[in-house]
Amino acid sequence: MIRCKKLPAGATLLFGFHSLALLASGNASGPLLVLLGSPVAVETQAKKLDPAPRDVIVYASDLPKSALSEFDFWNDPASPGGKLVGTPNTGGNLDPPPEDDPNVTFQVDVQSGIPYRCWVHMKVGAPKGVSQANKLWIQFSDAVDKNNSEVYKPGTGSYLTAHGPTQQGWTWVACSLAGPSWSEPPVYFRTSGRITVRLQAGMEGVGFDQFLLSPARYLEKPPSEAVVRK
């Protein structure tokens, strides 16, 4: 008895007098014809495709204490895990990279060759002195622009800015290029794999509980929900 497995769409069985022929989709040169002279199980398998890129979501509550430099964990029931990270506000001034001011550093996995949009769920604090408690600077290892030129590398003066409103409270803030006309460029990465993300306080008193790199779902607009589920 000849037993055949169920064939996927696009495959056709041709029966001959002494043989079984399988006509299936082949490569670019044309269909593939296989003659089988003995009882076998016949199956075609679709080419395995790369998985669709996924959102990169980091909760501050999941970070180890070692990821924080002059940041602290603060309790907030509205945050995932009940915690955010922030800096105390003395009303002082902070300098942008490459100055090594209070920062949070961690690693995530990304895919190369696709655009990501960067978002930070920021808690704008109470203003004090020269600080509006509403700014972060963001850098990435292995980041490139659309021309494949290195950008936003930690330890350099290249960075994106998440500048929130003056109104206190929670808000999603895009990572933008500061300038006369603020723009929100997509972020690309040279290779797939693990990269380092560095968020540096741009003003004292600022906090955040979620960091997001989105290649699709939030590429054009911020999340509408306060907490993005993993």
HEC readout, 43-83: CCCCCCCCCCCCCEEEEHHHCCHHHEECCEEEECCCCHHHE
Q: Which pTM does this prediction carry?
A: 0.77
Same domain, 96 and 170: yes
21 — pLDDT class (breaks 50, 70, 90): very low
Percent of the chain with pLDDT over 70: 76
Structural domain harbouring 33: 1-47
Contact between 215 and 55 (Cβ < 8 Å): yes
Predicted confidence at residue 146, as pLDDT, reads 87
Place of tokens 């409103």: 165
pLDDT in tens, 50-98: 578 899 999 999 999 999 999 999 999 999 999 999 999 999 999 999 9
- For residue 104, pLDDT beyond 50: yes
Cα(230)–Cα(228) distance, rounded to whole angstroms? 7
Contact between 120 and 160 (Cβ < 8 Å): no
Same domain, 36 and 72: no
Tally of domains in the chain: 2
Predicted confidence at residue 128, as pLDDT, reads 97
